[in-house]
Amino acid sequence: MTTPETRLAELGLSLPQPTTLPPNLKLPFSFINIRGNRALISGHPKSAPDGSIAGPYGQVGKDLSTDEAYAEAREVGLSILANLKAEIGELSRIAGWVRVFGMVNSAPGYSEQHLAINGFSDLIIGAFGPEIGAHARSAIGTHGLPMNFAIEIEAEALLKE
Amino acid sequence: MTTPETRLAELGLSLPQPTTLPPNLKLPFSFINIRGNRALISGHPKSAPDGSIAGPYGQVGKDLSTDEAYAEAREVGLSILANLKAEIGELSRIAGWVRVFGMVNSAPGYSEQHLAINGFSDLIIGAFGPEIGAHARSAIGTHGLPMNFAIEIEAEALLKE
Amino acid sequence: MTTPETRLAELGLSLPQPTTLPPNLKLPFSFINIRGNRALISGHPKSAPDGSIAGPYGQVGKDLSTDEAYAEAREVGLSILANLKAEIGELSRIAGWVRVFGMVNSAPGYSEQHLAINGFSDLIIGAFGPEIGAHARSAIGTHGLPMNFAIEIEAEALLKE
């Protein structure tokens, strides 16, 4: 049976460990918040393979190109999928993606936020297919992000009942 | 029977064609994503009458005045309603508006994002009435938007079961 | 029985009056929009004890420090809880928090939006406890906010059926 996990493997992608925080950092919110069949996904940065927070940092359009931001948005997606899987067990429990909100820390005049966030959307469609992976989306340019992240992605998915 | 479509006509407004994309542009997300009875609406720009993407472009507070942005936000709303109607058939299938998120590409120091996005809110209340049209809302100033859009509006509505 | 209201009192906090608007200001949206068991909460500023809108104003990182913004985000939370309570009667009707979106009007280079919005998250966890209070969250830097607010917080909570 084809699962999101096998599709990711076919794409040559692997999930990092779930996000681990430095001992001095305690977040008063949940990376993944399950309410009924809704999985609410907090704004995520990228994780290193060991789960530590790994940026990316800086402004897109100055410190990162759009192509680099596209690749980073895919990495943010892998971090999200790792945290989701840790919470729900198997990614095939996702019945459908709902909404994606892509925040791009933008240099003045930068206007390719949509192309950057495509790195995330393409990952989701690739792993879940066009029906389950379908999502509404907005991409915006921010004036700063926490810890100087270059990209932060928030989303919602529905779980099978 | 009064429908949102007849109310729009009474207001002298007509819907553009559903959004059509240039042949070289393929979006990895859906303008409208239906999940159960939820209609998730991607961040939309304005459409020309033929459905082609038509801005508006630039920074509000510099390239557009608040009054111009108000009128543009109404146009964005008409584009959203056109895509919604293409997806669900009749706007009277909407049981209630849920949430509106208005993104305004803002010049430094601009602080009338709420007045700009009122163009959208007034349209929704006008077309759907105060009960079905009621919505929670945020309006923010962004530091850039995709394709240099001046306004982008995301929303959620509920469909009748 | 311990309620969110008694927990707030134990924390030495009290709710302002529900938000009242100046006579010349009419909002085409609802501070709180109830749809089924979902309570959608519009982007809120702070209220003075009498319910009048009270900022805070300016850019965080320039006009307000992170510590000041943390305290202001808690005040925004009290304003939200006051409007919620006015709508639903008792805060114990909330079955769970869903999502929080914290918008911080940011000076160039400011990168502690998450620490500012912790003022809201800590309030919610403090008043509702770790299970009902759990929420997904994003925090972003904006380039301007309506009326030059320094902070605006949007959220969603679920009501008991």
Chain A residues close to C108, C-beta within 8 Å: 143-144
Chain B residues close to C40, C-beta within 8 Å: 98-99, 135-136
Please give the residue range of the domain that contains residue A135: 4-19+29-159
> Is pLDDT at A1 greater than 80 in this prediction?
no
Q: What value does the mean pLDDT take over residues A28-53?
A: 97
Inter-chain contact A103–C138, Cβ cutoff 8 Å?
A: yes
Q: How many domains does chain B have?
A: 1
> Is pLDDT at B37 greater than 90 in this prediction?
yes
Q: What value does the mean pLDDT take over residues B74-89?
A: 98
Whether C75 is covered by a domain: the verdict is: yes
Whether B24 is covered by a domain: the verdict is: no
How are beta strands A151-159 and B32-35 bridged, if at all? Answer: unpaired
Asked whether the beta carbons of C16 and B108 are under 8 A apart, the reply is no
State both tokens at C6. 């008694």
Most C CBs within 10 Å, among A103, A143, A149, to test the C interface: A143
Q: What pLDDT is attached to residue C26?
A: 85
Instruction: Return the residue of B nearest to A129 by Cα.
Output: B28
Whether B97 is covered by a domain: the verdict is: yes
Q: What pLDDT is attached to residue B57?
A: 98
Nearest CA-CA partner of C137 in C116, C111, C159: C116
Whether B98 is covered by a domain: the verdict is: yes
Whether B50 is covered by a domain: the verdict is: yes
Inter-chain contact B148–A111, Cβ cutoff 8 Å?
A: yes
State both tokens at B161. 């079961």
Most C CBs within 10 Å, among A27, A29, A41, A101, to test the C interface: A29
Whether C24 is covered by a domain: the verdict is: no
Whether C125 is covered by a domain: the verdict is: yes
CATH number for the domain that contains residue A87: 3.30.1330.40
Which residue in C104, C111, C140 is closest to A148 by CB distance? C111
Inter-chain contact A125–B30, Cβ cutoff 8 Å?
A: no
Inter-chain contact C139–A38, Cβ cutoff 8 Å?
A: no
Q: What pLDDT is attached to residue C1?
A: 76
Distances (CA, A) of C156 to A39, B98, C11, C39: 13, 11, 23, 6
State both tokens at C97. 């928090």
Residues in chain C where the model's pLDDT stays below 70? none
Chain C residues close to B109, C-beta within 8 Å: 144
Q: What value does the mean pLDDT take over residues B135-152?
A: 98
What residue type is B60 in one-letter code? Answer: V
Chain B residues close to C43, C-beta within 8 Å: 137-140
Inter-chain contact B36–A158, Cβ cutoff 8 Å?
A: yes
Which residue in C30, C103, C156 is closest to B134 by CB distance? C30
How confident is the model over A113-146, as pLDDT tens digits? 999 999 999 999 999 999 999 999 999 999 999 9
How confident is the model over C102-112, as pLDDT tens digits? 999 999 999 99
Give the number of residues written for chain C.
161
Which residue in A96, A118, A121 is closest to B35 by CB distance? A96
Instruction: Return the residue of A nearest to C115 by Cα.
Output: A146
- Is this prediction's pTM over 0.95? yes
Q: What value does the mean pLDDT take over residues B50-76?
A: 98
Q: Give chain A's mean pLDDT.
A: 97
Share above pLDDT 70 across residues of chain A, in percent, rounded to a whole number: 100
Inter-chain contact A41–C136, Cβ cutoff 8 Å?
A: yes
The residues on A that touch C, with CB distances below 8 Å, are 28-33, 35-36, 38, 40-43, 101, 103, 105, 141-148, 152, 154, 156
The number of angstroms, rounded, from the C-alpha of B102 to the middle of its chain's C-alpha atoms is 9
**B104 beta partners:** B141, B151
- In this complex, which chains have at least 3 CB pairs below 8 Å with chain B? A, C
Inter-chain contact C100–A36, Cβ cutoff 8 Å?
A: no
Share above pLDDT 90 across residues of chain C, in percent, rounded to a whole number: 95
Whether B134 is covered by a domain: the verdict is: yes
* DSSP per position, chain A: ---HHHHHHHTT----PPPB--TT---SS-SEEEETTEEEEEEE--B-TTSBB---BS-BTTTB-HHHHHHHHHHHHHHHHHHHHHHHS-GGGEEEEEEEEEEEEB-TT---HHHHHHHHHHHHHHHHHHHHS--EEEEEEES--GGGBSEEEEEEEEE--
Q: What pLDDT is attached to residue B25?
A: 82
Inter-chain contact C136–A33, Cβ cutoff 8 Å?
A: yes
Q: How confident is the model at residue A112 (pLDDT cuts 50, 70, 90)?
A: very high
